[in-house]
Amino acid sequence: MKKHIFFTLVLLISGLARADLVIEIDKGSRAAIPVAVVPFANESGQPLAEDIGQIVTEDLKRSGDIEPLDRTKMLSIPSKAEEIYFRDWGLLGQRYLLVGGVQYDAPSQVYKVRYELYNVQSQQRVLGKVLSGKSEKLRDMGHAVADAVYEAVTGIRGVFSTRIAYVTLEKSGTKNIYRLEVADADGRRSTELLKRSMPIISPAWSPDGKKLAYVSFESQRPAIYVQDTITGTRTQVTSFKGLNSAPTWSPDGTKLAVTLSKDGNAELYVLDLRNNSLKRLTNHWAIDTEASWSPDGRTIAFTSDRGGGPQIYLMDASGGSPRRLTFEGRYNSRPRFSVDGKKVYYVHQRDGSFNVASLDLESGQDQILTQTEMDESPSVAPNGSMIIYATQKNGKGVLAVVGVNSGSKYTLPAQFGDVREPAWSPYISR
């Protein structure tokens, strides 16, 4: 298992048919806040393509910080303030109540989603708004409602309107078909960005959420590409001899930190996308790879075996002498900074298992966040509350999400086959 994750060059996955990912909630949080999400009234006069209330319920439940009330336990189905009997919701133990409705304007073909959130104890309205959009935007509006409710209840910005990228592999006879997919954060509405017969690995979102950098082996050797997720336009940005791997974006979106072996050994370089200039950061006999920029762009964490085995190191983004961060265990790799830059998340081997762990950069305290045996490729949600990673479940490769503070967990398996290499997008303007 020495090279598990560390070189990030080969995807050990098999047999996937294209489909949306399916959510399976494995563990909730005992501290979750009870919120009743009442089914939204259909005031449109026609069948709706999406159940807004159900979208909001599923989003909030996945967070682990909120526990929506089961619809079958509701004593009434109000959609407006004058229909609410707060005493009933208090008896059901609810702290917040969300009601709303969906209207339709035939001439403009625009749907209007109205929602209001109430504090059950004070009986005061916490927030309310009307969203508008075409039929294809109904699901987006549902995610937007969930984001607003989550922030109002927890004080943390929601991530339900963000997206995830991941890689799949389908077996077709004796051939492999690799796909780079992008989907909503809940795994729905998947879109294929790239299909190749050779491996695709290491997708990384640009800070504006409009592009993906990744490694493709389509020319029989690894090369790094940047692709626009809307237009599909892509550009090959490296094609050096040897390794071209592990791209990550600088916080300002102008540079990529990459691993290249063009000079004989795997070293870290910074590629300036504005002028294609290349700057070497490390110069050591060891393998240096898997760079991660700090949120302020001043430092880079990376994996190196210069100490005899894979460990996490920290260095100035302009170069210089690295400082070792991890000392517990013989294998630590794939560092990713927390949103506030105070922690680093990484893959840690302990007792034969590979788990996602966190390291507090000030105190040096580490913590194991996952409990399965083959966890890899952690990626942090843009609000910092959750981490998506790849793991195994029932002998199948799946994506999983763990709450950083709540400890809640859910998985995102495909209906068939395996998925790997997740990357959580930043906030995206739509």
CATH code, 248: 2.120.10.30
Average pLDDT (390-403) is 88
* 294 compared with 393, residue with greater pLDDT: 294
Q: Which region among 13-17, 72-76, 123-127, 261-265 has the lowest average model confidence (pLDDT)?
A: 13-17
Q: What's the pLDDT at 308?
A: 92
Average pLDDT (287-306) is 97
Q: Within this chain, do residues 89 and 148 fall inside the same structural domain, yes or no? A: yes
Tokens 């294998």 appear where? Answer: 331
Average pLDDT (317-325) is 94
Please check the confidence at residue 284 and state whether its pLDDT lies above 80: yes
Coil vs helix vs strand at 56? helix
Q: Within this chain, do residues 53 and 88 fall inside the same structural domain, yes or no? A: yes
Establish how many alpha carbons lie within 13 A of residue 311's alpha carbon, considering only the half-sphere containing its beta carbon: 17
Q: Which of 154, 178, 196 is the last residue of a domain?
A: 154
Q: Within this chain, do residues 380 and 317 fall inside the same structural domain, yes or no? A: yes
Q: What's the pLDDT at 306?
A: 94
Tokens 């009601």 appear where? Answer: 99
Give how far Cα 271 sits from Cα of 102, 237, 263, Å. 48, 9, 15
Structure tokens at 10: 């080969």
Whether 9 is covered by a domain: the verdict is no
Which residues constitute the domain of residue 220? 163-424
Q: Within this chain, do residues 98 and 210 fall inside the same structural domain, yes or no? A: no
pLDDT band at 3 (very low <50, low <70, confident <90, very high): very low
Please check the confidence at residue 14 and state whether its pLDDT lies above 80: no
Average pLDDT (323-345) is 96
Q: Within this chain, do residues 308 and 332 fall inside the same structural domain, yes or no? A: yes
Q: Within this chain, do residues 253 and 369 fall inside the same structural domain, yes or no? A: yes
Q: Within this chain, do residues 92 and 233 fall inside the same structural domain, yes or no? A: no
pLDDT band at 17 (very low <50, low <70, confident <90, very high): very low
pLDDT band at 102 (very low <50, low <70, confident <90, very high): very high
Average pLDDT (408-416) is 79
Rg over CA atoms, the chain: 23
C-alpha to C-alpha distance for 410 and 134, rounded to whole angstroms: 31
Tell me the pLDDT tens digit for each residue of 215-263.
Answer: 999 998 999 999 999 999 999 999 899 999 999 999 999 999 999 999 9
Q: Within this chain, do residues 170 and 91 fall inside the same structural domain, yes or no? A: no
pLDDT band at 430 (very low <50, low <70, confident <90, very high): low
Whether 91 is covered by a domain: the verdict is yes
Whether 23 is covered by a domain: the verdict is no
pLDDT band at 323 (very low <50, low <70, confident <90, very high): very high
User: Phi, psi (5° rounding) for residue 69?
Assistant: -75, 135
Whether 13 is covered by a domain: the verdict is no
Q: Within this chain, do residues 189 and 214 fall inside the same structural domain, yes or no? A: yes
Tell me the pLDDT tens digit for each residue of 168-216.
Answer: 988 777 888 899 999 999 999 999 999 999 999 999 999 999 999 999 9
Whether 174 is covered by a domain: the verdict is yes
pLDDT band at 25 (very low <50, low <70, confident <90, very high): low
C-alpha to C-alpha distance for 250 and 117, rounded to whole angstroms: 38
Please check the confidence at residue 15 and state whether its pLDDT lies above 80: no
Average pLDDT (98-108) is 96
Q: Within this chain, do residues 126 and 252 fall inside the same structural domain, yes or no? A: no
Average pLDDT, the chain: 91
Establish how many alpha carbons lie within 13 A of residue 80's alpha carbon, considering only the half-sphere containing its beta carbon: 5
Please check the confidence at residue 30 and state whether its pLDDT lies above 80: no
Q: What's the pLDDT at 326?
A: 96
Q: Please report the DSSP string for 275-306 in residue order.
A: TTEEEE----SS-EEEEEE-TTSSEEEEEE-T
Q: Which of 154, 172, 194 is the last residue of a domain?
A: 154
Whether 359 is covered by a domain: the verdict is yes
Count of structural domains, the chain: 2
Please check the confidence at residue 315 and state whether its pLDDT lies above 60: yes
Please check the confidence at residue 9 and state whether its pLDDT lies above 70: no
Q: Within this chain, do residues 169 and 201 fall inside the same structural domain, yes or no? A: yes
Give how far Cα 137 sits from Cα of 7, 111, 131, Å. 40, 9, 10
Average pLDDT (96-125) is 97
Q: What's the pLDDT at 160?
A: 97
Please check the confidence at residue 416 and state whether its pLDDT lies above 80: no
Whether 172 is covered by a domain: the verdict is yes
Cα 4-10-14 angle, rounded to 5 deg: 100
Whether 25 is covered by a domain: the verdict is no
Q: Where are the alpha helices (DSSP H) in 46-123?
A: 52-63, 86-91
Q: Within this chain, do residues 203 and 234 fall inside the same structural domain, yes or no? A: yes
C-alpha to C-alpha distance for 62 and 381, rounded to whole angstroms: 13
Q: Which residues have C-beta within 8 Å of that of residue 396, sequence separation ≥ 6?
A: 413, 417, 418
Q: What's the pLDDT at 176?
A: 87
| Number of helices followed by number of strands (H, E) in the chain | 3, 31
CATH code for position 143: 3.40.50.10070
Q: Which of 107, 136, 154 is the last residue of a domain?
A: 154
Please check the confidence at residue 10 and state whether its pLDDT lies above 60: no
